[in-house]
Amino acid sequence: RPGRGAQPMQVVAVRLTAGELDALDAAAAKRDMTRSEAIRAALAHFAA
């Protein structure tokens, strides 16, 4: 799958519980985002 922007994307594996994954999916759906978009947004907020 092509990456976003000019820089190549890296794949990072993360282990989540079923509850964490459900919460992630619910938060992403509420904001009309993909899982990856929601994770990127959360990381940007955390790193700010």
Q: pTM (2 decimals)?
A: 0.80
Torsion of CA 27, 9, 1, 31, to 10 degrees: 20
Q: Look at residue 3 in the predicted model and tell me its pLDDT.
A: 66
Q: Look at residue 5 in the predicted model and tell me its pLDDT.
A: 74
Q: Look at residue 7 in the predicted model and tell me its pLDDT.
A: 81
Domain ranges of the chain: 18-47
Residues of the chain falling short of pLDDT 50: none
Q: Look at residue 9 in the predicted model and tell me its pLDDT.
A: 87
Q: Look at residue 2 in the predicted model and tell me its pLDDT.
A: 61
- How long, in residues, is the chain? 48
Maximum separation of any 2 CA atoms in the chain, in Å: 35
Q: How far apart are CA 41 and CA 16, in angstroms?
A: 17
